[in-house]
Chain A
Amino acid sequence: AQSVTQLDSQVPVFEEAPVELRCNYSSSVSVYLFWYVQYPNQGLQLLLKYLSGSTLVKGINGFEAEFNKSQTSFHLRKPSVHISDTAEYFCAVSRAGASKIIFGSGTRLSIRP
């Protein structure tokens, strides 16, 4: 079985500061890793995904994440955040052939001007 742990439930940062949202996963099989963002009163939007290959994945809105197999981590980073990045971020896993996504508990990113 797979599981996902998001270590921080809330992360406050100042505008234009860098941010890292932490995610660890566990699985006995190979998995695909995702980061989704949810803006208030909206559904989920895919930021980026890791399937295989290069461990550094670039996504939309200037976000990137690094897959670290030895540490079973998939942390999300952005070098300079904007007020519009205020949202909840979900790390997630799925496995080959399965549509089921297992989500972490989410990290609420709040940006201070």
Chain B
Amino acid sequence: KAGVTQTPRYLIKTRGQQVTLSCSPISGHRSVSWYQQTPGQGLQFLFEYFSETQRNKGNFPGRFSGRQFSNSRSEMNVSTLELGDSALYLCASSFEGQGQETQYFGPGTRLLVL
């Protein structure tokens, strides 16, 4: 099976712009979670989508949003980018998103905001 894929791998934007990141889960997986990784804050949970519905949300401002399509692919969007949004964005997929399941992570999208 192919692993979790994320596109693009690298992205450079300027403050005020918006960005959309994409994540394709492992085939058959219906849960997709997003995490932000920064040197200062570490790995933080953004949100989780399951069957096209946001099921869980972390403590991030409304500028961060996401969606999931019927094929389980997910996108996350960040509007009005700030310098502090520079980070590695990781997505992870699992079959049903239950706590005991192994979550499989993609390689990440590295976003640099100038």
Contact = CB atoms under 8 A, between A and B. Distances in A.
Interface string B49-74: 01000011010000000000000000
A101 B107 contact: no
A99 B48 contact: yes
A43 B107 contact: yes
B105 A100 contact: no
A100 B60 CA distance: 14
Interface in B15-46: 31, 33, 35, 42-45
Contact of A100 (B33, B101, B108): B33
A48 B102 CA distance: 9
Contact of A43 (B4, B45, B101): B4
Decide if the interface of chain B is mainly helix, strand, loop or mixed. Answer: strand
Contacts of B98: 96-99
Interface string A75-102: 0000000000000001000111111111
Contact of A101 (B45, B55, B106, B108): B45
Interface string A32-49: 100010000111111001
Interface residues on A, range: 20 to 34
Interface of A: 31-32, 36, 41-46, 49, 51, 90, 94-106
In the A-B complex, list the 6 residue pairs whose CB atoms are closest, starting with the nearest: A99-B97, A43-B105, A94-B99, A103-B43, A44-B105, A99-B48
30 contacts: A31-B99, A41-B107, A42-B108, A43-B4, A43-B107, A43-B108, A44-B90, A46-B102, A49-B102, A94-B99, A96-B98, A96-B99, A96-B100, A97-B99, A99-B50, A99-B55, A99-B56, A99-B94, A99-B97, A99-B103, A100-B33, A100-B56, A101-B33, A101-B35, A101-B43, A101-B45, A101-B92, A102-B45, A103-B44, A105-B42
Interface of B: 4, 31, 33, 35, 42-45, 48, 50, 55-56, 58, 90, 92, 94, 97-108
